[in-house]
């Protein structure tokens, strides 16, 4: 059972475009929703995170939008650059299972020059 569903699987945008990656969840026991960026052969790096009592969070060119009633959240990358080409994972944290993270399947983003 996939508890966090992520889409699209892959995404190609032109430099300067705004890629949007979407995630959906079912379990209401999640209390924290981070996004990770992973380059080939490297470990995931924490990018930005949000709590469910906030509808939007912005850090630099990265923005999370959160819709608690729809159980959906998304990552927007403003003014995307070729260096943003990586795989992005959304995740959700169980508040009652020791802080266990459940990850989405990942989105491979390619930003063309």
Partner 1 sequence: EAEVAQSPRYKITEKSQAVAFWCDPISGHATLYWYRQILGQGPELLVQFQDESVVDDSQLPKDRFSAERLKGVDSTLKIQPAELGDSAMYLCASSLAVEQFFGPGTRLTVL
Residues near partner 1 (CB under 8 A): 6, 32, 34, 36, 41-46, 49, 89, 91, 93, 97-101, 103-106
- Shortest CB 8 distance to partner 1, Å: 14
Instruction: CB nearer to partner 1: give 55 or 97.
Output: 97
- Shortest CB 16 distance to partner 1, Å: 28
Write out the two tokens for 45: 């790096």
- The candidate with the shortest Cα–Cα distance to 28, out of 1, 68, 66, is 68
Residues 15/82, Cβ–Cβ less than 8 Å: yes
Instruction: CB nearer to partner 1: give 6 or 63.
Output: 6
The three-point CA angle 87-58-46 to 5° equals: 40
């Amino acid at each position: 059972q996939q508890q966090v569903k992520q889409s699209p699987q892959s995404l190609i945008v032109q430099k300067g475009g705004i890629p949007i990656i979407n995630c959906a969840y079912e379990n209401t026991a999640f209390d924290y929703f981070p996004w990770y960026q992973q380059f080939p052969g490297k470990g995931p790096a924490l990018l930005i995170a949000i709590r469910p009592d906030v509808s939007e969070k912005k850090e630099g060119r990265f923005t999370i939008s959160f819709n608690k009633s729809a159980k959906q959240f998304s990552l927007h990358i403003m003014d995307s650059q070729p260096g943003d080409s990586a795989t992005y994972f959304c995740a959700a944290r169980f508040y009652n299972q020791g802080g266990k993270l459940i990850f989405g399947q990942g989105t491979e983003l390619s930003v063309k020059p």
